[in-house]
Structure 1
Amino acid sequence: MSELRIRGLRKSFDGHPVLHGIDLSVERGTLLALLGPSGSGKTTLLRVLCGFERADGGTVEIDGRRVVGDGLHLPSEQRRVGYVPQEGALFPHLSVADNIVFGLPRAQRRARHRVAELLELVGLPASFATRAPQQLSGGQQQRVALARALAPAPTLVMLDEPFSSLDAALRLETRQAVAHALAAAGATAVLVTHDQSEALSMGHEVAVLWRGKLIQTATPQTLYRQPVTRELASFVGEAVLLAGDARGGSATCELGTLPLSVPVADGAVDVMVRPEQIRVLHAHEAAPSGAPSFDAIVRDVVFQGQDAAVTLQMQSAAHTVVRARVPGYRSPQLGERVTLTVDGDATAYPRG
């Protein structure tokens, strides 16, 4: 497959800027998850890369070949980009095999070129080739759509929220199958999504678009643990934000003095920890030796099976309310008096 290079990409609609000078690189064989809330510009960026929309400025290179820039707008059919839309968009009057080979030259369509190989690649039996799309589940249809996108051996695969219409169990299964197929094909791919868990679980890297600007590109672990803004921290999972004071690589807040994952200038900050970092200890349990601990009362519990979201009111002068996430079997009772400690590093954001 290929590498993708985007430099200074801009796009407006009716004078309203949608993409503000996007710079982005996707290395060969990488699955990049493009994450952002609705209206952030994700779909516009995808459509510009596919050639469905013309950019206002900037350049795009796919495998060293410029497809956008300096008045150049290479048509979609000349870019060798595979595209998997949200609903799969299979042709209901064609068989699975005919859908897969639809974009190939006539001779290859007649020969059903690589149909069995591609079905195996996406985790479907060869016998599905003769079926109609409506005989398949939603997840199976999405796998066929991916096989169709891979059939012409594209230089880049674009996936536009391909799992959004699937139920939770089928979504997870289909994600895994698609990720495996892309890896087996050695594909360079961009997955557009607003689903944080999808981006974090599938992407080798995650790029976050926010109001048309690319604000962070990082590994899933770095993005989750060290988001660059407090708004992004709250978007990528749950965040507990507390007023604090940074000094010498640590920050002091109502949960104690916590080491910072990234140093910030000394002064007033907002301290961020994830709910799963807050350990909830029952009355008979002792805090780890030397670890600061704080008394709290359980005000709410939302049991979710494997885990539980717990709202806690700290018994400090400020009576601060925080949220913790605990394993389901350790779920406390309403009104229970517990002790809190914090595991791991925190992230801090300067105020002002």
Structure 2
Amino acid sequence: MSELRIRGLQKSFDGHPVLHGIDLSVERGTLLALLGPSGSGKTTLLRLLCGFERADGGSVEIDGRSVVGDNLHVPSEQRRIGYVPQEGALFPHLSVADNIVFGLPRTQRRARHRVAELLELVGLPADFGTRAPQQLSGGQQQRVALARALAPSPTLVMLDEPFSSLDAALRLETRQAVASALAATGATAVLVTHDQSEALSLGHEVAVLWNGRLIQTATPQTLYRLPVTRELASFVGEAVLLPGIVTQDRVSCELGDLPLSTPIGQGAVDVMVRPEQIRLFRDEDRLVNDTRAYDAIVTEVTFQGQDAGVALQMQSGTRTMVRARVPGYLSPQPGERVRLSVDGEVTAYPRA
């Protein structure tokens, strides 16, 4: 597979800028998750890369070959990009096998070139080749769409929110099958999504598009632990934001004197704590009298099976409300008195 290089990519519609000078690199064999809220420009960027739209400025190289540049717009069919749309978009009048080979030369279509191999690659039995798309589940149709995208051995695979129409259980199963297939081929791929958990679980790297600008590209772990803005912190998972004061390499806030993950200038800040960092102690717990723990009352519990979201009101200072996340079997009851402490390092942002 190939590498992708984007430099200064711009696009406007009716005079309204949608993409502002995007710079992005995707190394060979990498699955990049392109994450952003609705209206951030994700779909526009995908359409520019696929050649469905013309860029207003900037350049795109795929495996060292320019496909977008000054007075250059290589047509979609000449870019060797595999494209998986949101709902598979299989041809209902063709069999699964005929769908897979649809984009191949005539001789390979007749020979059903690599159909059994590609079906196995995406986790489907070879005899599915004779079925009609209507006989498959939504997740199976998405796997066939991926097999069709991989059939011509493309230089790059683009996935446009391919799991958004699936129910939760089928979405997880299909994600795993698609990720395994891409890894088995060593494919370079870009997954466009607004689903944070999808981006964090599938992407080797995650690039965040925000109001048409690329604001952070990082590993999933770095993006989650060290988001560059407080807005991004709240978008990529839940975030508890509290006022604090930085002194040297620590920050003081209503949850205690906490270590910082990265250095920041002295003074007033907003402290970001992830809910799962907040530990709850009951009366019977050994550390209930720990001086680093703070009194709180449970005001609400949202039980979600394997875990639970807990809303708490601090019993000191301004009686701030915070949210914790605990294992489901440890969820407390509304009205219960607990003590809180924070595990690990926290991130801080200069106060605006």
The TM-score with structure 2 as length reference comes to 0.99
Name the counterpart of 1:230. Answer: 230
The alpha carbon displacement at 1:262 in A equals 1.1
Name the counterpart of 1:88. Answer: 88
Name the CA distance, whole Å, in 2 between partners of 1:195 and 1:317. Answer: 36
- Per-residue deviation, residues 105-128 of structure 1 (Å, max 9, x unmatched): 000000000000000000000000
- Residue type matched to 1:185 in 2? T
Name the CA distance, whole Å, in 1 between partners of 2:290 and 2:63. Answer: 54
Question: Is residue 288–residue 339 contact of structure 2 (8 Å, CA) maintained in 1?
Answer: no
The alpha carbon displacement at 1:250 in A equals 1.1
The alpha carbon displacement at 1:289 in A equals 9.1
Question: Is residue 281–residue 288 contact of structure 2 (8 Å, CA) maintained in 1?
Answer: no
- Per-residue deviation, residues 123-160 of structure 1 (Å, max 9, x unmatched): 00000000000000000000000000000000000000
Change (3 A) 1:285 1:164: same
Number of equivalences: 352
The alpha carbon displacement at 1:102 in A equals 0.2
User: Secondary structure of the equivalent of 2:77?
Assistant: helix
Larger mean Cα displacement after TM superposition, 283-292 or 332-341: 283-292
Name the CA distance, whole Å, in 2 between partners of 1:197 and 1:32. Answer: 14
The alpha carbon displacement at 1:287 in A equals 2.3
The TM-score with structure 1 as length reference comes to 0.99
Name the CA distance, whole Å, in 2 between partners of 1:333 and 1:289. Answer: 20
Gaps of 5+ in 1: none
Name the CA distance, whole Å, in 2 between partners of 1:207 and 1:300. Answer: 34
The alpha carbon displacement at 1:317 in A equals 2.1
Name the counterpart of 1:65. Answer: 65
Name the counterpart of 1:185. Answer: 185
Name the CA distance, whole Å, in 1 between partners of 2:138 and 2:92. Answer: 13
Name the CA distance, whole Å, in 1 between partners of 2:229 and 2:69. Answer: 31
Name the CA distance, whole Å, in 1 between partners of 2:230 and 2:14. Answer: 31
Name the counterpart of 2:310. Answer: 310
- Per-residue deviation, residues 56-87 of structure 1 (Å, max 9, x unmatched): 00000000000000110000000000000000
Name the CA distance, whole Å, in 2 between partners of 1:70 and 1:64. Answer: 16
Question: Is residue 296–residue 339 contact of structure 1 (8 Å, CA) maintained in 2?
Answer: yes
Name the CA distance, whole Å, in 2 between partners of 1:264 and 1:10. Answer: 33
The alpha carbon displacement at 1:263 in A equals 0.9
Name the counterpart of 2:128. Answer: 128
Name the counterpart of 2:46. Answer: 46
> What is the identity percentage for the equivalent residue pairs of Structure 1 and Structure 2?
82
Q: How does 1:159-174 map to 2 (within 5 A)?
A: 159-174=159-174
Change (3 A) 1:185 1:297: same
Name the CA distance, whole Å, in 1 between partners of 2:210 and 2:317. Answer: 37
Name the CA distance, whole Å, in 2 between partners of 1:300 and 1:194. Answer: 28
Question: Is residue 287–residue 341 contact of structure 1 (8 Å, CA) maintained in 2?
Answer: no
State the superposition RMSD in angstroms. 0.9
Name the counterpart of 2:275. Answer: 275
Name the CA distance, whole Å, in 2 between partners of 1:225 and 1:111. Answer: 50
Question: Is residue 157–residue 187 contact of structure 2 (8 Å, CA) maintained in 1?
Answer: yes
Name the CA distance, whole Å, in 2 between partners of 1:24 and 1:191. Answer: 14
Q: How does 1:105-144 map to 2 (within 5 A)?
A: 105-144=105-144
Name the CA distance, whole Å, in 1 between partners of 2:119 and 2:29. Answer: 20
The alpha carbon displacement at 1:286 in A equals 2.7
Question: Is residue 246–residue 269 contact of structure 2 (8 Å, CA) maintained in 1?
Answer: yes
Question: Is residue 245–residue 269 contact of structure 2 (8 Å, CA) maintained in 1?
Answer: yes
Q: How does 1:239-258 map to 2 (within 5 A)?
A: 239-258=239-258
- Residue type matched to 1:300 in 2? E
Name the CA distance, whole Å, in 1 between partners of 2:197 and 2:235. Answer: 11
- Per-residue deviation, residues 167-197 of structure 1 (Å, max 9, x unmatched): 0000000000000000001000000000000
The alpha carbon displacement at 1:291 in A equals 6.2
The alpha carbon displacement at 1:290 in A equals 6.5
Question: Is residue 207–residue 218 contact of structure 1 (8 Å, CA) maintained in 2?
Answer: yes
Name the counterpart of 2:342. Answer: 342
Name the counterpart of 2:36. Answer: 36
Answering whether residue 15 of structure 2 is matched by residue 19 of structure 1, we say no
User: Secondary structure of the equivalent of 2:287?
Assistant: coil
Name the counterpart of 1:55. Answer: 55
User: Secondary structure of the equivalent of 1:215?
Assistant: strand
Name the counterpart of 1:201. Answer: 201
- Residue type matched to 2:311 in 1? T
User: Secondary structure of the equivalent of 1:287?
Assistant: helix
Name the CA distance, whole Å, in 2 between partners of 1:136 and 1:248. Answer: 60
- Per-residue deviation, residues 207-243 of structure 1 (Å, max 9, x unmatched): 0000000000000000000000000000000000000
Question: Is residue 291–residue 341 contact of structure 1 (8 Å, CA) maintained in 2?
Answer: no
